[in-house]
Structure 1
Amino acid sequence: MDEDVIARFCAATKLGDVDAVIETFTPDGELVSPLAGRAVFRGHEDLRVLFSILLPALSGFAWDHRIDGDGTAVVVARARVLGIRIGDAILIEQDAHGRIRRLTPHVRPWLGLTALALVLAPKLVRHPAVLRRVFRRG
Protein backbone atom coordinates (compact mmCIF):
# COMPACT_ATOMS: atom_id res chain seq x y z
CA MET A 1 0.00 0.00 0.00
CA ASP A 2 2.05 2.92 -1.29
CA GLU A 3 -0.62 5.61 -1.13
CA ASP A 4 -3.03 6.72 1.55
CA VAL A 5 -6.41 5.93 0.02
CA ILE A 6 -8.25 6.88 3.19
CA ALA A 7 -6.70 10.36 3.16
CA ARG A 8 -7.71 10.67 -0.52
CA PHE A 9 -11.26 9.56 0.35
CA CYS A 10 -11.51 12.10 3.18
CA ALA A 11 -10.15 14.93 1.02
CA ALA A 12 -12.46 14.06 -1.87
CA THR A 13 -15.57 13.92 0.29
CA LYS A 14 -14.73 17.23 1.92
CA LEU A 15 -14.31 18.81 -1.54
CA GLY A 16 -17.48 17.14 -2.85
CA ASP A 17 -15.48 15.47 -5.64
CA VAL A 18 -17.62 12.42 -6.43
CA ASP A 19 -15.26 11.05 -9.11
CA ALA A 20 -12.31 11.15 -6.71
CA VAL A 21 -14.41 9.46 -4.01
CA ILE A 22 -15.36 6.62 -6.37
CA GLU A 23 -11.70 6.11 -7.40
CA THR A 24 -10.86 5.15 -3.80
CA PHE A 25 -13.23 2.15 -3.88
CA THR A 26 -12.66 -1.32 -5.27
CA PRO A 27 -14.93 -1.99 -8.29
CA ASP A 28 -17.23 -4.04 -6.03
CA GLY A 29 -16.91 -1.63 -3.06
CA GLU A 30 -19.83 -1.30 -0.67
CA LEU A 31 -21.45 1.22 1.65
CA VAL A 32 -23.78 -0.17 4.31
CA SER A 33 -26.64 2.28 4.74
CA PRO A 34 -27.07 3.70 8.24
CA LEU A 35 -30.75 4.25 7.39
CA ALA A 36 -31.83 0.67 6.67
CA GLY A 37 -29.93 -2.28 8.10
CA ARG A 38 -30.03 -4.51 5.07
CA ALA A 39 -29.50 -1.76 2.48
CA VAL A 40 -26.06 -1.91 0.87
CA PHE A 41 -24.88 0.27 -2.02
CA ARG A 42 -22.57 -1.89 -4.18
CA GLY A 43 -20.27 -1.03 -7.05
CA HIS A 44 -19.10 2.20 -8.59
CA GLU A 45 -22.36 2.98 -10.41
CA ASP A 46 -24.57 2.82 -7.30
CA LEU A 47 -21.98 4.49 -5.08
CA ARG A 48 -21.75 7.35 -7.61
CA VAL A 49 -25.51 7.88 -7.38
CA LEU A 50 -25.37 7.90 -3.58
CA PHE A 51 -22.41 10.24 -3.22
CA SER A 52 -23.80 12.57 -5.93
CA ILE A 53 -26.85 13.04 -3.71
CA LEU A 54 -25.17 12.88 -0.32
CA LEU A 55 -22.19 15.22 -0.66
CA PRO A 56 -24.12 18.31 -1.85
CA ALA A 57 -26.55 17.81 1.07
CA LEU A 58 -23.79 18.30 3.66
CA SER A 59 -22.40 21.61 4.85
CA GLY A 60 -19.54 22.41 7.20
CA PHE A 61 -17.99 19.03 6.47
CA ALA A 62 -14.85 18.26 8.50
CA TRP A 63 -12.83 15.17 9.40
CA ASP A 64 -11.77 15.16 13.05
CA HIS A 65 -10.17 11.82 13.93
CA ARG A 66 -8.69 8.74 12.35
CA ILE A 67 -7.70 5.44 13.95
CA ASP A 68 -5.90 2.86 11.80
CA GLY A 69 -5.77 -0.89 12.21
CA ASP A 70 -4.62 -3.76 10.03
CA GLY A 71 -6.65 -3.25 6.85
CA THR A 72 -9.28 -1.22 8.68
CA ALA A 73 -9.66 2.32 9.90
CA VAL A 74 -12.22 4.42 11.69
CA VAL A 75 -12.62 8.02 10.62
CA VAL A 76 -14.82 10.53 12.43
CA ALA A 77 -16.54 13.36 10.62
CA ARG A 78 -18.94 16.16 11.42
CA ALA A 79 -21.24 18.14 9.18
CA ARG A 80 -24.67 19.69 8.98
CA VAL A 81 -27.69 18.57 7.05
CA LEU A 82 -30.70 20.89 6.89
CA GLY A 83 -28.85 22.95 9.50
CA ILE A 84 -28.77 20.03 11.96
CA ARG A 85 -25.43 18.85 13.30
CA ILE A 86 -24.48 15.27 12.56
CA GLY A 87 -21.52 13.16 13.55
CA ASP A 88 -20.34 10.07 11.75
CA ALA A 89 -17.88 7.38 12.77
CA ILE A 90 -17.17 5.35 9.65
CA LEU A 91 -15.57 1.93 9.72
CA ILE A 92 -13.46 1.57 6.56
CA GLU A 93 -12.40 -1.90 5.43
CA GLN A 94 -9.68 -2.08 2.79
CA ASP A 95 -8.54 -4.69 0.30
CA ALA A 96 -4.93 -5.95 0.05
CA HIS A 97 -4.03 -2.95 -2.15
CA GLY A 98 -5.47 -0.41 0.30
CA ARG A 99 -8.55 0.47 -1.74
CA ILE A 100 -11.85 0.78 0.09
CA ARG A 101 -13.82 -2.46 0.07
CA ARG A 102 -16.55 -1.50 2.53
CA LEU A 103 -17.77 1.56 4.45
CA THR A 104 -20.00 1.19 7.47
CA PRO A 105 -21.19 4.63 8.66
CA HIS A 106 -22.58 5.21 12.15
CA VAL A 107 -24.45 8.53 12.02
CA ARG A 108 -25.74 10.32 15.09
CA PRO A 109 -27.76 11.88 16.63
CA TRP A 110 -31.12 10.43 15.67
CA LEU A 111 -32.44 13.85 14.60
CA GLY A 112 -29.49 14.30 12.23
CA LEU A 113 -29.97 10.82 10.79
CA THR A 114 -33.64 11.60 10.25
CA ALA A 115 -32.78 14.87 8.48
CA LEU A 116 -30.34 12.97 6.29
CA ALA A 117 -33.07 10.48 5.38
CA LEU A 118 -35.44 13.33 4.52
CA VAL A 119 -32.87 14.78 2.12
CA LEU A 120 -31.72 11.52 0.54
CA ALA A 121 -34.97 9.58 0.14
CA PRO A 122 -36.77 11.83 -2.38
CA LYS A 123 -33.68 11.93 -4.59
CA LEU A 124 -32.91 8.23 -4.31
CA VAL A 125 -36.43 7.23 -5.39
CA ARG A 126 -35.58 8.78 -8.76
CA HIS A 127 -33.19 5.83 -9.18
CA PRO A 128 -35.43 2.75 -8.81
CA ALA A 129 -32.86 0.35 -10.29
CA VAL A 130 -30.33 1.45 -7.67
CA LEU A 131 -32.86 0.99 -4.88
CA ARG A 132 -33.74 -2.50 -6.12
CA ARG A 133 -30.06 -3.44 -6.02
CA VAL A 134 -29.52 -1.75 -2.63
CA PHE A 135 -32.21 -3.85 -0.96
CA ARG A 136 -31.21 -7.09 -2.70
CA ARG A 137 -29.59 -9.53 -0.33
CA GLY A 138 -25.88 -9.82 -1.26
Structure 2
Amino acid sequence: MEASNKKPTVLVVEDHADSREMLCELLRQGGLSVLAASDGVEAIAFLQSHMPALVLTDLRMPRMDGMELARYIKSHERYAHIPVVLISANLPAASARIPTIAAFLLKPCSVDHLLGTVTGLLRQSAQSQAQRSLQG
Protein backbone atom coordinates (compact mmCIF):
# COMPACT_ATOMS: atom_id res chain seq x y z
CA MET A 1 0.00 0.00 0.00
CA GLU A 2 2.99 2.31 -0.37
CA ALA A 3 1.56 3.88 -3.52
CA SER A 4 -1.35 5.37 -1.56
CA ASN A 5 1.16 7.41 0.48
CA LYS A 6 2.61 8.98 -2.66
CA LYS A 7 1.80 12.66 -3.20
CA PRO A 8 -0.47 13.29 -6.17
CA THR A 9 1.26 15.18 -8.98
CA VAL A 10 -0.27 18.30 -10.52
CA LEU A 11 0.96 19.58 -13.88
CA VAL A 12 0.83 23.40 -13.84
CA VAL A 13 0.70 24.92 -17.33
CA GLU A 14 1.24 28.70 -17.33
CA ASP A 15 3.19 30.89 -19.74
CA HIS A 16 4.03 33.64 -17.23
CA ALA A 17 7.01 32.44 -15.19
CA ASP A 18 6.10 34.36 -12.01
CA SER A 19 2.52 33.09 -12.02
CA ARG A 20 3.69 29.55 -12.80
CA GLU A 21 6.15 29.56 -9.89
CA MET A 22 3.58 31.02 -7.50
CA LEU A 23 1.01 28.36 -8.41
CA CYS A 24 3.63 25.62 -8.08
CA GLU A 25 4.71 26.87 -4.66
CA LEU A 26 1.13 27.10 -3.37
CA LEU A 27 0.43 23.55 -4.51
CA ARG A 28 3.66 22.27 -2.93
CA GLN A 29 2.69 23.98 0.34
CA GLY A 30 -0.63 22.15 0.01
CA GLY A 31 1.24 18.84 0.07
CA LEU A 32 1.24 18.09 -3.65
CA SER A 33 4.01 17.16 -6.06
CA VAL A 34 4.25 19.58 -8.98
CA LEU A 35 5.49 19.62 -12.58
CA ALA A 36 5.53 22.84 -14.58
CA ALA A 37 5.15 23.62 -18.28
CA SER A 38 5.14 26.96 -20.09
CA ASP A 39 2.41 26.09 -22.61
CA GLY A 40 0.25 23.29 -23.96
CA VAL A 41 2.93 21.92 -26.29
CA GLU A 42 5.38 21.54 -23.41
CA ALA A 43 2.59 20.02 -21.29
CA ILE A 44 1.96 17.32 -23.90
CA ALA A 45 5.66 16.45 -23.79
CA PHE A 46 5.36 16.00 -20.01
CA LEU A 47 2.29 13.80 -20.49
CA GLN A 48 4.35 11.47 -22.68
CA SER A 49 6.73 10.70 -19.79
CA HIS A 50 4.70 11.52 -16.64
CA MET A 51 1.14 10.80 -15.60
CA PRO A 52 -0.07 13.71 -13.47
CA ALA A 53 -3.16 13.25 -11.34
CA LEU A 54 -4.48 16.66 -12.44
CA VAL A 55 -3.65 19.42 -14.94
CA LEU A 56 -4.02 23.07 -13.89
CA THR A 57 -3.77 25.21 -17.01
CA ASP A 58 -3.99 28.86 -17.96
CA LEU A 59 -6.43 29.74 -20.72
CA ARG A 60 -4.36 32.05 -22.90
CA MET A 61 -0.90 30.80 -23.84
CA PRO A 62 1.28 30.76 -26.96
CA ARG A 63 1.51 27.73 -29.26
CA MET A 64 -1.35 25.81 -27.58
CA ASP A 65 -3.86 27.38 -25.20
CA GLY A 66 -5.60 25.78 -22.24
CA MET A 67 -8.77 24.81 -24.10
CA GLU A 68 -6.77 23.11 -26.86
CA LEU A 69 -4.75 21.28 -24.20
CA ALA A 70 -7.92 20.15 -22.41
CA ARG A 71 -9.38 18.85 -25.68
CA TYR A 72 -6.13 16.99 -26.41
CA ILE A 73 -6.13 15.37 -22.97
CA LYS A 74 -9.77 14.30 -23.14
CA SER A 75 -9.44 12.96 -26.70
CA HIS A 76 -6.69 10.49 -25.78
CA GLU A 77 -7.78 7.41 -23.87
CA ARG A 78 -4.51 7.25 -21.94
CA TYR A 79 -5.07 10.74 -20.45
CA ALA A 80 -8.86 11.14 -20.54
CA HIS A 81 -9.23 10.33 -16.82
CA ILE A 82 -7.05 13.32 -15.81
CA PRO A 83 -9.13 16.24 -14.50
CA VAL A 84 -8.30 19.56 -16.15
CA VAL A 85 -8.74 22.80 -14.21
CA LEU A 86 -8.70 26.03 -16.20
CA ILE A 87 -7.41 29.16 -14.49
CA SER A 88 -7.69 32.58 -16.10
CA ALA A 89 -8.40 36.24 -15.45
CA ASN A 90 -10.92 36.14 -18.33
CA LEU A 91 -13.21 33.17 -18.78
CA PRO A 92 -15.62 33.14 -21.70
CA ALA A 93 -19.17 32.58 -20.41
CA ALA A 94 -19.85 29.71 -22.83
CA SER A 95 -16.78 27.78 -21.68
CA ALA A 96 -18.50 26.80 -18.42
CA ARG A 97 -20.46 24.22 -20.42
CA ILE A 98 -17.47 22.56 -22.07
CA PRO A 99 -17.17 19.00 -20.70
CA THR A 100 -13.38 18.83 -21.06
CA ILE A 101 -12.95 21.15 -18.06
CA ALA A 102 -13.46 19.82 -14.52
CA ALA A 103 -13.40 23.29 -12.92
CA PHE A 104 -12.74 26.97 -13.60
CA LEU A 105 -10.78 29.27 -11.33
CA LEU A 106 -10.74 33.02 -11.83
CA LYS A 107 -7.48 34.90 -11.27
CA PRO A 108 -6.83 36.15 -8.73
CA CYS A 109 -8.06 33.23 -6.69
CA SER A 110 -7.64 32.60 -2.99
CA VAL A 111 -5.21 29.95 -1.81
CA ASP A 112 -8.04 28.16 -0.01
CA HIS A 113 -10.19 28.08 -3.16
CA LEU A 114 -7.28 26.87 -5.30
CA LEU A 115 -6.28 24.10 -2.89
CA GLY A 116 -9.88 23.17 -2.11
CA THR A 117 -10.75 22.79 -5.78
CA VAL A 118 -7.60 20.84 -6.64
CA THR A 119 -7.70 18.49 -3.65
CA GLY A 120 -11.44 17.91 -4.09
CA LEU A 121 -10.96 16.93 -7.74
CA LEU A 122 -7.98 14.74 -6.87
CA ARG A 123 -10.08 12.93 -4.28
CA GLN A 124 -12.96 12.43 -6.76
CA SER A 125 -10.57 11.21 -9.44
CA ALA A 126 -8.88 8.74 -7.08
CA GLN A 127 -12.28 7.36 -6.04
CA SER A 128 -13.35 6.98 -9.67
CA GLN A 129 -10.11 5.19 -10.56
CA ALA A 130 -10.51 2.86 -7.58
CA GLN A 131 -14.04 1.99 -8.70
CA ARG A 132 -12.87 1.37 -12.28
CA SER A 133 -10.10 -0.91 -10.96
CA LEU A 134 -12.61 -2.94 -8.97
CA GLN A 135 -14.92 -3.26 -11.97
CA GLY A 136 -12.20 -4.13 -14.48
Greater relative contact order: 1 or 2 (C-alpha under 8 angstroms, separation 6 or more)? 1
Does the alignment reach a TM-score above 0.5?
A: no
Q: TM-score, normalised by structure 1?
A: 0.27
